[in-house]
């Protein structure tokens, strides 16, 4: 991990959320209002230890939207235990993109696509 890295503060996270809320319209704005939660830190057992977890900002059924402050982007993952992120992803998505992806999944069904997996070791 980068020694200069520091986790995003709650104030900085709220600023990101507020910028997105200004851009969401119609169905996406309504959907966001239904799924958003007050940001709270959830555990992630591999990459979330150093920053004391990652900020979850929305919950919809078995899915969460959370901010990966290592990669500086929002992600969609599943959870089975409240407070624990089941799948680590390293997308660098804007919040509006993740809201739109989750809305599309709810509206049309199918599988969630477009998640970047965790870092992979380089073959030597």
Tens digits of residue pLDDT in 45-83:
988 888 899 999 999 999 999 999 988 999 999 999 999
Cα–Cα distances (Å) from 58 to 32, 42, 83, 95, in that order, read 8, 12, 12, 10
Per-domain residue ranges of the chain: 10-108
Helix (H, G, I), strand (E, B) or coil at 21: helix
CB 118 within 8 A of CB 46: yes
Banded model confidence at residue 119, pLDDT cuts 50, 70, 90: low
Banded model confidence at residue 34, pLDDT cuts 50, 70, 90: very high
Mean pLDDT of the chain: 88
Mean pLDDT within 17-24? 95
């Amino acid at each position: 991990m980068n020694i200069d890295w520091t986790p995003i503060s709650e104030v900085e996270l709220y600023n990101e959320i507020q910028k997105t809320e200004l851009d969401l319209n119609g169905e996406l704005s309504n959907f966001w209002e239904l799924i958003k939660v007050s940001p709270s830190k959830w555990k992630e057992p591999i990459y979330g230890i150093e920053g004391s977890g990652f900020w979850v900002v929305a919950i919809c059924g078995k899915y969460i939207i959370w901010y990966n402050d290592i990669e500086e982007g929002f992600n969609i993952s599943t959870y089975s235990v409240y407070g624990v992120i089941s799948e680590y992803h390293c997308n660098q998505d804007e919040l509006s993109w993740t809201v739109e992806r989750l809305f599309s999944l709810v509206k049309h069904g199918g599988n969630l696509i477009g998640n970047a997996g965790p870092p992979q070791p380089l073959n030597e």
